Amino acid sequence: MDEIIKTLSGNPVQPIKMDLDSKFSFMCHSGLECFTQCCGKIDIFITPYDVVRIKNRLGITSGEFLTNYLQLMELKKSRLPLYMLRMTKEGRCPFVTDEGCRIYSDRPVVCRYYPIGFGLLKSKEVGGGDFFFPIKEAYCKGFEENREWTVRQWREAQEINIFDFINKDWFDIVLSKKLLAPDFKPTEKSISLYLMCSYDIDNFRKFVFESRFLSLYEVDDDTVELIKEDEVELLKFAHRWLHGVLFGNPVIKLREGSS
């Protein structure tokens, strides 16, 4: 399943297994001749919290973001599709400019990790992947800079913990061994609910507040207020509900008499 997290094409991945205390020298800045070269011809998988950050940054809905910037990928080892950032026809990231990333403070988690890749076998609340590895493109001059990091320090500097925390329940789903069970056969409807709960938060909000959802499910008043006001809480609620949709044994239960 780690294959879904290993997101960069080609073979710049170094066969070096790192942990949180592994050290590397690296610095990226606009003075380097390679500046922004890495922002093209790459596979950047997008997490649910990436969608929230970027669509708000762009001032568009999650649905518009999916349509205009992402593409759906079916991956060999995953029974659920994942969204990737769609490169332009020139093979460049749609957010790169001569001055750098135009969504830098809201860039996806994969870009935050770069030039470190990560593999996940199971999700972690905070602390990241199960293992890490350097990604060394021949053109990248950042490795020649004299600034040493541990992977842990790099993660902190790139503010990755908050992404891990918010995406945790979703990673629990997409990395679940239950997906590999022979009797796991998602229907078209459950895949469509999975996509909505994972990536289309504005549509999920309508689904909850403009349908019979709240009369069908046991959701206490405090939670209703919280998810109405706070988009991140709504996202985490979507993932809790999704767990029941895909695997049964729901965290958010139907009211008695509802079906």
Using rule CB under 6 A, residue 55 touches ligand SF4: no
Q: Which is nearer to ligand SF4, 69 or 241 (CB)?
A: 69
Number of residues that bind ligand SF4 (CB under 6 A): 24
Q: Which is nearer to ligand SF4, 96 or 208 (CB)?
A: 96
Site string for ligand SF4, 22-41 (x = CB under 6 A): ------x---x-xxxxxx--
Q: Which is nearer to ligand SF4, 115 or 128 (CB)?
A: 115
Binding to ligand SF4 in span 64-123, by CB under 6 A: 93, 95-96, 101, 103, 107-108, 111, 114-115
Distances (CA, A) of 56 to 10, 225, 239: 31, 21, 20
Using rule CB under 6 A, residue 135 touches ligand SF4: no
Residue among 175, 62, 186, 76 at smallest CA distance from 123 = 175
Q: How many CA atoms lie within 13 A of 255 on its CB side?
A: 10
240 and 169 Cβ atoms separated by less than 8 Å: yes
Q: Which is nearer to ligand SF4, 2 or 137 (CB)?
A: 137
**What are the two backbone dihedrals, phi and then psi, of residue 67, each rounded to the nearest 5 degrees?**
-65, -45
Binding to ligand SF4 in span 222-251, by CB under 6 A: none
Q: Strands 131-134, 116-119: parallel, antiparallel or unpaired by DSSP?
A: antiparallel
Using rule CB under 6 A, residue 134 touches ligand SF4: no
Burial (0-12, 13-18, 19+ Cβ within 10 Å), 105: exposed
Minimum Å gap between C-beta 229 and ligand SF4 is: 28
Give CA–CA dist 57/94, Å, rounded.
14
Q: Which is nearer to ligand SF4, 59 or 182 (CB)?
A: 59
**Among residues 116, 140, 234, 246, the one that binds ligand SF4 under rule CB under 6 A:** 140
- Strand, coil or helix: 93: coil
Which tokens sit at 35?
């500046």
Binding to ligand SF4 in span 194-213, by CB under 6 A: none
Using rule CB under 6 A, residue 152 touches ligand SF4: no
Strand (E) or helix (H) holding 52 = helix 48-58
Binding residues vs ligand SF4 (CB under 6 A): 28, 32, 34-39, 44, 93, 95-96, 101, 103, 107-108, 111, 114-115, 137, 139-142
